[in-house]
Amino acid sequence: ETGVTQTPRHLVMGMTNKKSLKCEQHLGHNAMYWYKQSAKKPLELMFVYSLEERVENNSVPSRFSPECPNSSHLFLHLHTLQPEDSALYLCASSQIRGGEQYFGPGTRLTVT
Amino acid sequence: KQEVTQIPAALSVPEGENLVLNCSFTDSAIYNLQWFRQDPGKGLTSLLLIQSSQREQTSGRLNASLDKSSGRSTLYIAASQPGDSATYLCAVRASGTYKYIFGTGTRLKVLA
């Protein structure tokens, strides 16, 4: 596997479900990011981890809970979501210095 | 608060034309600026990264320039091809933060 991978690619969940999104980077980077992309809106940064420490939390509701167990893996735990949370969720990684971001293919989330 | 604007929102050109996409930002205190392309329903592909100390970067038919003082960056695409059809996004990383702010993108269509 190369680059940044995300699983699952598609997810449909009810408002009472709990699910997790997974991201893995194979680039030796030390920073990882979660973004949300909704129709007609700019990409929104949700969370940033640098050396496995959360360094940005962009006023994201607590129903989204990130986890970064090591520099290669990033999770986004989801619970009691709302229909307006339906979006494309993108993971990215970079070196802290320099900072060229590389993105995964995204998880298309639909909340019913 | 940093705001990033991309003009035009959409562009349709015949194959072979040279074209310029614009990105403007309101706060010149940036760490770097990155250009991406996004194909429908896919993740983002990094095109060019310009550090705040640089004026331009080139990769193949692509050239990106940065003028921090005026808060502008341009992406120049030479001899456009139908395969260049995609949405082009610019993102600015603010100095001293890990925060990336994205523009809403320019949707480009190159006609054969």
Task: In whole angstroms, give the CA distance from residue B20 to residue B71.
Answer: 16
Give the best residue of A101, A102, A108, A110 to mutate against chain B (max B CB count within 10 A): A101
| Residue among B32, B34, B42 minimizing CB distance to A105 | B42
Task: In whole angstroms, give the CA distance from residue A72 to residue A93.
Answer: 9
Q: Are A93 and A4 in contact (CB under 8 A)?
A: yes
Structure tokens at A96: 């802290």
Task: In whole angstroms, give the CA distance from residue A32 to residue A19.
Answer: 20
Mean pLDDT across A65-72: 94
Question: Taking CB atoms and an 8 Å limit, are B91 and A43 in contact across chains?
Answer: yes
Write down the pLDDT at residue B98. Answer: 85
**B29: β partners:** none
Task: In whole angstroms, give the CA distance from residue A88 to residue A105.
Answer: 9
Write down the pLDDT at residue A39. Answer: 87
Closest CA relative to residue A57, chosen from B97, B47, B75, B64: B97
pLDDT digits (tens, 9 = 90+) for A18-49: 999 999 999 999 999 999 999 888 999 999 99
Q: In what order do the strands lie in the sheet with B56-59?
A: B4-7, B19-25, B72-77, B62-67, B56-59
Give the best residue of A24, A34, A43 to mutate against chain B (max B CB count within 10 A): A43
Which residues in chain B land under pLDDT 70?
Answer: none
